[in-house]
Amino acid sequence: MSSAVKSGRAAALLSDGPTILDALPHPVLLVAPDGVIESANMAAEIFMRASVAVLRRHPISDFVPFGSPLLTLIDQVRDRGAAVNEYKVDIGSPKIGAPKVVDINAAPVTDRPGAVVLMFQERTMAEKIDRQLSSRGAARTVTGLAAMLAHEIKNPLSGIRGAAQLLEQSANEDDRALTQLITNETDRIVKLVDRMEVFSDERPIERDPVNIHVVLDHVKRLADSGFARHQKITEEYDPSLPAVYGNKDQLIQVFLNLIKNASEAIGEAPEGEIKISTAYRPGVRLSVPGTSQRVSLPLEFCVEDNGPGVPEELVPHLFEPFITTKINGSGLGLALVAKIIGDHGGVIECDSQIRRTTFRILMPAYAEPASPHPAPDRTD
């Protein structure tokens, strides 16, 4: 079946209102000859952050940046009268969120000259998983490094620290400052090695149903009474969110790290703000390597700040060990966050631009274990 015939059928389905197209995970839009959005499926409403009723009142140009490649693509389809595909197009804007990198399929409607059907396929998920796998490979390298450091460095450091303490007892005031420096620096290196050793812990984590809002409220209290006491923290929670299947202590560690990073990014900015949000996002499913099983990741948790943002060249490597934007940072905090989320079967990504950086976590919900025996039939 040709693209033109397919697009004609898709246009007819969209024009008829809620249809089977609402079951598609990809956004589909019907753009009229005058450029106004005529209809959209449910995925498109979520993608465009607007209902069909709102979308129908606006041309497609209202939702994308001026001079967007998407508008050029629509013109090409009208001129050629044939379908056109474009890959890795950023159509992000303040209205629909940014960045929004998609593959676009644009096709003409056979019986309506000038009308165009658009289908978007988001690339962020595939690339996000790619980065997660790269980060896990780097984490395995740190695992071997940590095991070596624990043996080859921590033991000699213990001897160096002990010798410095002995010298301190008979040293004058000037030399005592130097022995104290040796002690402090050996302690700092030991703490760094201890943090790296966390990566070598391959034991299965103990997991239970966890109310994520209890975790977030606890972390917010810690932040409000400590490092973020002079900063504004707002919440946007979905109160009906199901429990996450996770380890409460490790999830506290994850969000404490993310909120502390957001706080440090804001610094002393008077308008600085940290936003914590939770939402249910059905439709995100991942294949489990080595099996035919697909895991749903419907729970979305975000930590957003309006700081200066992460340098663009660092974003793809942000969750790798020893990558940091801090002057005195170790670069292990976000790597550990990625490891914990990965151990929970989830994924984490970072969307960063000036005045808005968002760390987004997708995780599976808790599912009641199936009963090993069917309930007895009591109808007799």
Torsion angle, alpha carbons of 198, 204, 208, 209, to 10:
80
The amino acid at residue 106 is A
Residue 158 is predicted with a pLDDT of 76
CATH code assigned to 208-363: 3.30.565.10
Does this model's pTM top 0.75? Answer: no
The amino acid at residue 154 is K
Position 147 confidence tier, pLDDT thresholds 50, 70, 90: low
CB 56 within 8 A of CB 143: no
Asked which of 14-18, 276-280, 314-318 is least confident by mean pLDDT, the reply is 14-18
| 249 vs 23 pLDDT, higher one | 249
Omega of the bond leading into 376 within 30 degrees of 0 (cis): no
Position 125 confidence tier, pLDDT thresholds 50, 70, 90: low
The contacts of residue 186 (CB under 8 Å, 6+ apart) are 157, 160, 161, 164
Query: Kind of pairing, strands 294-296 and 285-287?
Result: antiparallel
Position 342 confidence tier, pLDDT thresholds 50, 70, 90: confident
Say whether 221 sits in a helix, a strand or coil: helix
Rounded to the nearest integer, the mean pLDDT of the chain is 78
Give the whole-angstrom CA distance, residue 179 versus residue 156.
16
So where are the chain's domains?
A: 3-122, 126-200, 208-363
Residue 42 has pLDDT above 70, yes or no: yes
The amino acid at residue 139 is A
Residue 244 is predicted with a pLDDT of 93
Residue 373 is predicted with a pLDDT of 54
**Tens-place pLDDT, residues 149-202:** 555 666 677 778 888 888 888 888 878 888 888 888 788 777 766 665 555 556
CATH topology of domain 3-122: Beta-Lactamase (3.30.450)
Give the whole-angstrom CA distance, residue 144 versus residue 265.
31
Residue 178 is predicted with a pLDDT of 84
The contacts of residue 138 (CB under 8 Å, 6+ apart) are 320, 321, 335
Give me the count of residues in the chain. Answer: 380
Task: Tell me which range, 2-11, 116-125, 205-214, is most confidently predicted by mean pLDDT.
Answer: 205-214
